[in-house]
Amino acid sequence: MIKADRVVSTTCPYCGVGCNLQVHVKDDYIFKVTSPFDAVVNQGNLCVKGRFGYDYVYHPKRVATPLIRKTPQKPGERTQAFDRDEWREATWDEALDYVADRLVEIYQRDGSDAMSVYCCAKATNEDNYLLQKMFRALFRTNNVDHCTRLCHAGSVVALQQAVGSSAMSNTASEVVHNDVLMVVGSNTSENHPIIALQMKKAIREHGAKLIVVDPRRIDLVDFAELWLPLKPGTNVPLLTAMAHVIVKEDLVDHEFIRNRTEGYEDFVESLEKFTPEYAEEISGVPADDIRKAARLYAEAENGAIYWGMGISQLSHGTASALALIHLAFLTGNIGRKGTGLNPLRGQNNVQGASDMGAMPFHYPGYMLVSEEGNAQKWEAAWNIEPGGLSRELGLTTTEILTHAHPGGVRALFIMGENPMMSEPNLNETRKHMQELEFLVSQDLFINESGAFADVFLPATPFAEKDGTFTNTDRRVQRVRQAHPPRGQARADWKIICDLAQRIESRLGRDTAKWDYASPEEVFAEMASVVPDFAGVTYERIEKTGLQYPVWDKEHPGTPFLFAEFFPRGRGKFTPLDYVPAVEPVDDEYPFILTTGRVLEHWHGGTMTRHSQLNTLYPEARVEIHPADAELHGISDGMAVKVTSRRGEIVVRASVTEKTTVGVVFLPWHFHEAAANLLTIDALDPQAKIPEFKACAVQVFPARDSDLPNPDVVLERGRY
């Protein structure tokens, strides 16, 4: 039995649930992860990623020395260098001076619009706050974004529009107080496993009723009262038909409508055509089931809605989220414990990165960049001359790359993200990456995007740094260093401060202050300007964290929002129309492809594919329904080619009733069979989120020898 040198309490680096981890360390290696039964978020439960997925920290391919490309890269001819022989090792001084020189050269030649940065939903609040500060304060640009654009951007825009706040309204563990819960477009068991456990507990032990709205027969369907297997991309007609039933059958909470909302009359008028029969025709869900779901949710004492990417990752993601919000308004299922509108945020700190201003439209605290008063507050906080910060809205992640051309974006700094896996239509993304004049990657491994970089800055994972993450239900929690960084790797916040000082001196500007002694000081600077965090201190979040808003040092935090009013005043109804997915199926491409995650892996795979988790789930599989498989001569485990108008991959098929007829599913974690080679780059016009959940593909038999790794076979177990 190994005796730990120390046991360090920290927060899981994977999903937005934010489970507490106790990492057991011996000789500066983590050898075990546990969690205490009184952990406030997860009560001692951990999923396979949190329990076993920490070993990427010690993977031999992890980069722990600054690197510079041996061959200078030119726009249009930029290549990927995965091989370490194509890089030379550099000192930190040399690497940071080089990055500062090149960024300043491009900025002084082409101005603010040429500069851009991807912040990181896996990094801490402090890391993200500093990186957006660096680009805003020094390069005077709002071309600042991160992967929230690719996950819940539709939800964020809809919630801002309807209520004036974009976070989860309630606490995930309040699910045991729901008597009816609707889970829409969220494979919760694989993406937020501990919340799924709490949902099952609510059903088994507290008699809650579950409605699942999802094209796939996900695990939660086994626990559901009703499953509405809609065609991908038909949320708006289905959910609006539920609103139609609620209004027609007078299941409306009139007092709530009168006191708390606006726009109800126009909204009711817009419902006329959204009959359950109309929705059945479009979505494939029987009209009677739509009626039953509407009645069940509307008659609940405490009804709550939980949703995921199946709502937001569509070219009408904002409208889909609005359709859900309307249901809560109609029935008054918001503003009370055990109710609410709950977008389940994906990454460990996607909520925090958004809160910290890692977005093109907002400073920290969702303060619009275009409002003069907001800009003045941050100019004062960052010691910037009046009028110095840009008031122009910046470019989103999806737009930054499409603007990579002479006269547009020339320099991109990527902290911990991997657009060469996460963007749609990767063959196009590749061309955009090649057009960049200067690219910096700050990461752990040379991933598909870092391989394009000029300079690689080795950063630290969660186990080697201090700071905070904010989980999906707004809980700010501590991340603690378990052991020192490997090799010369440095914490992201330290790299950013060191680089910012070099840039500042080259620009000859007054200092915006970069000499922080600790992440705690960084957090305190942010909290001195953003009222939501005014009462959050490291001392107060030592044990269980605090759920913002926390208005002052005595405030206990806010488990649920909107008890008396919405931040925008009244909740706003918005009449909706049905807009189909951009690419319909046809004879050439007869299947709808929908993409997502599996339990064992995480996003582009930078962490989990360098972990023992990869041996548990080593290859991508395309799920196809038995009826479709038979028609196309496909058997379980057979190699198949999946093609779209944009690309093709070869994977094995899983023939399963988990997917529905006409719909195939692919996970997007596998670079050798990247699902995003197939996806379409159509965007939601407001949120600019791509349509990852619906495009047209063909599937036909291939040879085993066409597989990227023919010897690797998935045999999934249970953990």
Q: How far is the CB of 193 from ligand SF4 (least distance, A)?
A: 5
Does 607 bind ligand SF4 (CB under 6 A)? Our answer is: no
Residue range at the interface with ligand SF4 (CB under 6 A); choices 11-19, 81-89, 286-294, 501-509: 11-19
Q: How far apart are CA 606 and CA 312, in angstroms?
A: 24
User: Is the CB of 188 or the CB of 422 nearer to ligand SF4?
Assistant: 188
- From residue 294, how far is each of 242, 331, 396, 406 by CA, in Å? 5, 10, 36, 53
Residue (267 or 462) nearer to ligand SF4, CB: 462
Identity of the residue, 193 or 338, whose beta carbon is nearer to ligand SF4 in the bound complex: 193
Q: Is 398 helix (H, G, I), strand (E, B) or coil?
A: helix
* Bridge pairing between strands 303-307 and 180-184: parallel
Question: Which window, 14-22, 406-414, 457-465, 690-698, contacts ligand SF4 (CB under 6 A)?
Answer: 14-22
Beta carbon of residue 464, minimum distance to ligand SF4 (angstroms, whole number): 18
Q: How distant, in Å, are the alpha carbons of 22, 30, 43, 543 from that of 35? A: 5, 14, 8, 13
By CB under 6 A, tell whether 18 contacts ligand SF4.
yes
**Smallest distance from ligand SF4 to CB 104, Å:** 39
- The window from 39-47, 74-82, 240-248, 517-525 that contacts ligand SF4 (CB under 6 A) reads 39-47
State yes or no: residue 479 binds ligand SF4 (CB under 6 A).
Answer: no
Q: Please identify which residue in the block is written with the tokens 């199926």.
A: 585
Closest to ligand SF4 by CB, 50 vs 308, is 50
Nearest to ligand SF4 of 425, 547 (CB atom)? 547
The distance between the two most distant Cα atoms of the chain, rounded to a whole number of Å, is: 71
Contact (CB, 8 A) for 677 and 448: no
Whether residue 549 is preceded by a cis peptide bond, meaning omega within 30 degrees of 0, is yes
CB 619, min distance to ligand SF4, A: 21
Distance from C-alpha of 95 to C-alpha of 188, rounded to nearest angstrom: 42
**Number of residues counted as binding ligand SF4 (CB under 6 A):** 13
If we measure between CA atoms, which residue out of 644, 647, 664, 512 comes closest to residue 588? Answer: 644
Decide if residue 15 touches ligand SF4 (CB under 6 A): yes
Q: How many CB atoms lie under 10 A from the CB of residue 22?
A: 17
Q: Which amino acid is at 40?
A: V
Give residue 443's region: left, alpha or beta (phi > 0; psi -120 to 50): beta
Q: Which residue has the closest beta carbon to ligand SF4? A: 50
Beta strands in 107-149 (DSSP E): 115-118, 144-145
Q: Give the separation between CA 266 and CA 313, rounded to whole angstroms.
A: 27
Select 23 or 651, whichever has its Cβ closest to ligand SF4: 23
Closer residue to ligand SF4 in complex, CB, 15/247:
15
Residue in 10, 19, 153, 241 binding ligand SF4, rule: CB under 6 A: 19
We find the least distance from the C-beta atom of residue 13 to ligand SF4, in angstroms, to be 8
Sole residue written with tokens 């001084």: 93
Task: State the minimum distance, in angstroms, from the CB of residue 541 to ligand SF4.
Answer: 17
Kindly tell me which of 188 and 398 has the beta carbon lying closer to ligand SF4: 188
| Phi–psi pair at 679, nearest 5 degrees | -70, 160
In the bound state with ligand SF4, the residue whose beta carbon lies nearer, of 87 and 307, is 307
CB of 681 vs ligand SF4, minimal distance in Å: 29
Binding part of the chain for ligand SF4, among 7-15, 175-183, 429-437, 621-629 by CB under 6 A, reads 7-15
Number of H helices, E strands in the chain: 22, 28
| Closer residue to ligand SF4 (CB): 315 or 472 | 472
From the CB of 538, what's the least distance to ligand SF4, in Å?
21
Q: Which of residues 139-198 bind ligand SF4 (CB under 6 A)?
A: 193-194
Compare residues 49 and 316 and give the one whose CB is closer to ligand SF4.
49
Residues 467/126, Cβ–Cβ less than 8 Å: yes
3-state secondary structure 227-278: EECCCCCCHHHHHHHHHHHHHHCCCCCHHHHHHHEECHHHHHHHCCCCCHHH
Residues 46-75 that bind ligand SF4 (CB under 6 A): 46-47, 49-50
Tell me which DSSP letter residue 544 carries: S
Closest CA to 577 of 319, 194, 199, 221: 319
| 360 part of the interface to ligand SF4, by CB under 6 A | no
Of 10, 17, 153, 655, which one interacts with ligand SF4 (CB under 6 A)?
A: 17
Distance CA 262, CA 531 (A): 27
* Residue 510 Cβ vs ligand SF4, minimum distance, rounded to whole Å: 41
Please report, as a single letter, which amino acid is at residue 497: C
Residues 188-207 within binding reach of ligand SF4 (CB under 6 A): 193-194
Q: Which residue in the set 9, 23, 39, 42 belongs to the binding site for ligand SF4 (CB under 6 A)?
A: 42
Q: Which residue has the tokens 């789930």?
A: 617
Residues facing 690 on adjacent strands: 683
Of 22 and 501, the one with the shorter C-beta distance to ligand SF4 is 22
Q: Which residues bind ligand SF4 (CB under 6 A)?
A: 12, 14-15, 17-19, 42, 46-47, 49-50, 193-194
